[in-house]
Amino acid sequence: MDVQVSVLGDAFSYGVILLEMFTGKSPIDNMFKDGRSLHEYVAAAWPERLMEIADPLLFLEEEEEIRNNREESPIVHERSRSGINAREQIRESLLLIIQIGLSCSNPSPRDRMTMKDVGNKLHVVRDLIL
């Protein structure tokens, strides 16, 4: 068997890891039998239904903050420095990260994002969060 190792394979693995981390699903989950894949599952939901497939554990801290703010005052509405609420900030960050994951895990190696571009996009996400 002649198998070539390449950075495109690294990008694929990185993309799958991102999709796993942010959906809470494994590529070997029972739901991906019969030829379905994690990539297809996420691609079918992106971007409109992204929040439906996101791992709910990602939002535990934010939900706790919302509950605490409601107890203090029903009109308190925390905003980030950029002027968007925490949930919208999470959604925007998640959109960018999932887009990276989908691009990296593209079945066609030539259509995958390069790791240099991944680094640049992750800097954008970091700047959005900070």
Which domain CATH number covers 81?
Answer: 1.10.510.10
pTM above 0.85, yes or no: no
Is 122 domain-assigned?
Answer: yes
Is 2 domain-assigned?
Answer: no
User: 6, exposed or middle or buried, with CB in 10 Å at 0-12, 13-18, 19+?
Assistant: exposed
Q: What integer pLDDT is reported at residue 82 of this predicted model? A: 46
Is 1 domain-assigned?
Answer: no
Is 125 domain-assigned?
Answer: yes
Compute the average pLDDT of residues 19-39: 93
Q: Which domain holds residue 74?
A: 7-129
Compute the distance between CA of residue 81 and CA of residue 100 in angstroms, rounded to an integer: 25
**Per the omega criterion (within 30 degrees of 0), is the bond before 47 cis?**
yes
Give the count of domains, the chain. 1
Who wins on pLDDT, 30 or 75?
30
Compute the distance between CA of residue 66 and CA of residue 76 in angstroms, rounded to an integer: 9
Q: Euclidean distance between the first and final Cα of the chain, in Å? A: 47
